[in-house]
Structure 1
Amino acid sequence: MPAPNPQALDFLLTRRSRPAKTLTTPVPDKATIEKLLKAAARTPDHGKLEPWRFIVLTKPALARLATLVGARGAALGMEEDKIAKAQAQYADADLAIAVISAPKRSEKIPQIEQIYSAGAVCLALLNAALAAGWGANWLSGWPSHERDFIRDGLGLADHETVAGLIHIGTETSAPPERPRPDLAAITTWLDK
């Protein structure tokens, strides 16, 4: 029989992201962030390619990125409310960690598996932060998919993309539970 870890399972069955706009200071210190990154880096990674990396964004970097969001949105002719919403994600944050999908050339490991691994890193980092008692949320938004923004703002290479921005901080209010999927509607059992 397997040795159960009821606390870990209970955490997974009850975990709930905290809206980024409800997060504030204090934020984790460098040693805590490194521990969370270490946990996230234990994500399944076929071929041990490490097709992802992290960029830790502190308040000054987030303020710079908020300004760049405004410039890029204006250059793209976007509506002001869409720009403002995206800017707020950066300007109002105190800490975010960008998980960068950085696929490696491989004859054995398909690129899609490497991209999935980067997504798994996002969830692992989110869960590590929540398990450590922090509030956390996984966001993206149009700037994280806009090539000039991610090149100029984050220094990403042409083959790299943002898998997600994990906002971490102290929660100011616990969110209510939300409806969860109907397992019977999304599960198929194949017995033969």
Structure 2
Amino acid sequence: MLATRPSEDVRRFLSLRRSANKAMLGAPGPTPHQLDQILAAATRIPDHRRLSPWRFIVFEGDARAAFGDAAAKVHADEAEGVDESALQSTRQLMLRAPTIIAVVSSPKNDGKTPVWEQELSVGALGYNLLLAANAAGWGGVWLTEWVAFSDGINTLLGLAETERLAGFIYLGTPTANPQERARPAPSELIQRWSGH
């Protein structure tokens, strides 16, 4: 293992990272083998005490529509008076891309590692997943929406009481290039400690 791996190509790749538009991810998506490689790369992140405080739930094929139907029932139960168009949107959520990965924050109570540290590791995992997918030639976007904050969805997905959804990462073949958006100026966000 090398301590550093200087690469101008990687630096440029990172400086141009951009999420795909959720409406512009078509088939095909990664094969199971390709997805396994992407997820393995995603786990190469900071993980204090090697707790692996995260896990994945993968949606592919017919499972996407089945989840949408079940999620619409949860939506109707949780949102009093929700209209049919909103329920139809929920049914279509997972049909926007051929492959969707739910990233689950699954902190371990080891009595030593703060949950906050473990949640930061989950954030790094999601970002690394997007980078690995993009480097493998797939477009991707990380979304939360109401399904990431629903007790009913947590139950539907079998999450433990201590677990929560960090979001859903949609992967597929981009049907258009994403537009650039405004980025913050780093100089406005940097403070250098001077000791007083």
Short-chain TM bin: over 0.9
Partner of 2:57: 55
Partner of 1:147: 151
Partner of 2:107: 103
Matched, 1:92 2:110: no
Q: Structure 1-normalised TM-score?
A: 0.92
Mapping of 1:40-79 within 5 angstroms? 40-76=42-78, 77=80, 79=82
Partner of 1:116: 120
> Which stretches in structure 2 are left out of the alignment for 5+ residues?
none
Partner of 1:191: 194
Per the TM alignment, residue 87 of structure 1 is displaced from its structure 2 partner at its CA by 3.5
Matched, 1:137 2:141: yes
Q: Describe the shift of the 1:113–1:82 C-alpha distance in structure 2 as closer, same or farther (beyond 3 A).
A: farther
| Cα root mean square deviation, aligned | 1.6
Q: CA separation in 2, counterparts of 1:59 and 1:158?
A: 28
Check the 8 A contact 2:65/2:92 in 1, yes or no: no
Per the TM alignment, residue 147 of structure 1 is displaced from its structure 2 partner at its CA by 1.3
Per the TM alignment, residue 69 of structure 1 is displaced from its structure 2 partner at its CA by 2.1
Q: How many residues are aligned here? A: 190
Check the 8 A contact 1:52/1:101 in 2, yes or no: yes
Q: CA separation in 2, counterparts of 1:191 and 1:109?
A: 30
> Which stretches in structure 1 are left out of the alignment for 5+ residues?
none
Matched, 1:167 2:170: yes
Q: CA separation in 2, counterparts of 1:103 and 1:64?
A: 28
The SS at the match of 1:47 is helix
Per the TM alignment, residue 109 of structure 1 is displaced from its structure 2 partner at its CA by 0.5
